[in-house]
Every structure is written in C-alpha cells, then in structure tokens.
Amino acid sequence: MGIEAINPFELPLLNTVILLSSGVTVTYAHHSLIQGNRKGVLYGLIASLALAVVFTIFQGVEYAVSSFTISDGAFGSCFYFSTGFHGLTHVAPTSLFIFILLFNKLIKKEDKIRYQIKNTALVVESNNKSIKLDKNFIQWLVGFTDAEGNFNISLKGLNQNSYNSLNITFQIGLHIDDLYILEYIKDKLNCGSISISENRCNFFVNDQKSLINVILPIFKYTELKSSKYFQFLIFENAVNLLINKKHLSPEGRLKILEYYKEIKIVNLNSTARENMEIEQY
C-alpha cells in the first residue's frame, strides 16, 4: 500500500539493453584475444567498461527518483537488495578489474613485447596491426641477417660519459640490384625504411615500437648462427631498456654507454659460436 513501483518499460528497460550490450562487447574482446587481435581486445574492453559506467549511473538515477526506500516493506527491501547486490558483486568488481587490466596491460605497459609463438608462425604487433610471420620466412630472414645484416648502437654528441641522443638500429645492406629483396622484407614486417646511396641500398628499423614488438621477437624466436648472435645479445639488452623508458634514467644512460662500447668490441673481434646446432632440412 502506498508504494508506486518503477515502470519496467522506462529506465529499467534501457539499463537492461545496456547490460546485454556489455555482454556483446566483452565477448568481442574475448574472441579478439583468442585471435591475437590486440586492437579488438582494447576496443572491446573499453566499450564494456563505458557501458558498465553508464549502467551504474542510470542505476543511481533510478534510486534517486524512486518514491520508496529499502525500509518500505518487502517490495523496497527486495528491490534495493537485488539491484544493489548485483551492482556490488558483479558490475563494480568487473568494472574495476577491466580498468586495472586496461591500465596495466594495454596502456601503461603498451611498449612491452607482445607476441605469440606458435608451432608454425610468430604473431607480432607492427604499427598497431597483428602480423603473422611464417616460420620459414623467419628462418630465411635470420639466415639472411647472419650474412648481410647487423645490429648497431650509435650515440650523437658523445663526450666521454655523456651523449645527446641514442639511435638503436637493425639493418640489412645490399647492392642496388637486390633492392627488391629489401622491399619484400619491409612489406612482410610492415615496418622500417629503405635508403639508397649510389649503388647500395639499406633496409633499417630504428623506431622503438618496431624494435620492441617486431625485431626482438623474431631473433628470440630463431637464434642467429654466426657471430652476429653476440651482437644481438648486446642489442637486446639495449632495446630492453627502452621498455618503460629506462634508458632515460641516469643508470640507464650509463648502461647504454656500456652496451655501445661492448658492441664495438664485438664488431672488431668477431668470434664464432661454439656448440651451435645447425638444423638439417
């Protein structure tokens, strides 16, 4: 008696649609995760979080306009308990979990290596696009790098133990007649640039995201067989400092100087790898 129930075809119906829509977006994120589509995961989770926030706001509005309280009979107790319990045990914790996941895994640490290794392929993140690299291509590229490629650390404005800027580069240099090979590599990796000087052409990758998300995973997936392997180990240490911008700290800058000197020594005193197993085909 005296209690006016909320019309279920007004705000409750809208909130039901929002709730079901969040189920669609989080399912999209789930399937994107299975397929290795990072962008789909990101968009799906953001949409789910936004819908959860809107749902919570509308639920608050519903509480504010209600003409009854939790102490107004059995109806009020059941209404506030069921909707409130749903919000406290389901909507709020899930929203908080999605927010933490987005912040820590996809935004705050977006420069971390994100790749998926399978038996026959390597999936890497190149220019915000998931690229599937065939195992045969990777083995060919690594072998080609053993012969024609190199990993380099260069410092501009170097003065004893200080420098102005850092450039970490993976590159492959060929005669201009073989330019089509470098174009093929560039297209497959979806990153890097090609420079031409007289009768020489050079494919190089020096942007941080491509070094972290493409180049490093490739040479961790299949090891180099020549002395370039030792070059890569130093290169890997330097690239790892780029993650979370550690190369900008005083300790990181000293480490970069150390790697810069080490890679020069390796280049001057190349030594063959010992006990290296060569795959038979």
Long-range contacts: 119-128, Cβ < 8 Å, 24+? 122/217, 122/218, 122/221, 123/36, 124/213, 124/214, 124/217, 124/218, 125/38, 125/209, 125/213, 125/214, 126/189, 126/190, 126/191, 126/210, 126/213, 126/214, 127/190, 127/191, 127/209, 127/210, 128/39
Work out how many domains the chain is built from and give that number.
Answer: 2
Looking up residue 122, the CATH number of its domain turns out to be 3.10.28.10
Query: Are residues 103 and 132 located together in one domain of the fold?
Result: no
Per-residue pLDDT at 278 exceeds 60 = no
Q: Which residue, 57, 74, 107, sits at the end of a domain? A: 107
Q: Which residue, 76, 107, 138, sits at the end of a domain? A: 107
Per-residue confidence band for 129, with pLDDT thresholds at 50, 70 and 90: confident
Q: How much is the average pLDDT of 80-86?
A: 85
Residues ≥6 apart with Cβ < 8 Å to 265: none
Query: Are residues 158 and 251 located together in one domain of the fold?
Result: yes
Residues ≥6 apart with Cβ < 8 Å to 216: 113, 236, 239
Distance in angstroms (rounded) separating the CA atoms of residues 34 and 168: 33
Range of the domain at 140: 115-268
Query: Are residues 172 and 236 located together in one domain of the fold?
Result: yes
Instruction: Quick: pLDDT tens for 191-200.
Output: 999 999 999 9
pTM for the model stands at 0.55
Query: Are residues 224 and 187 located together in one domain of the fold?
Result: yes
Query: Are residues 161 and 90 located together in one domain of the fold?
Result: no
**Mean pLDDT across the chain:** 84
Residue 281 lies in a domain: no
Query: Are residues 145 and 242 located together in one domain of the fold?
Result: yes
How confident is the model at residue 139, as a pLDDT? 92
Sheet holding 165-175, edge to edge: 149-156, 165-175, 200-205, 193-197
Residue 280 lies in a domain: no
Query: Are residues 256 and 151 located together in one domain of the fold?
Result: yes
Lowest-confidence range among 61-75, 96-110, 164-178?
96-110
Query: Are residues 120 and 229 located together in one domain of the fold?
Result: yes
State both tokens at 259: 């790697």
The DSSP bridge pattern shows strands 193-197 and 200-205 to be: antiparallel
Query: Are residues 189 and 258 located together in one domain of the fold?
Result: yes
How confident is the model at residue 270, as a pLDDT? 60
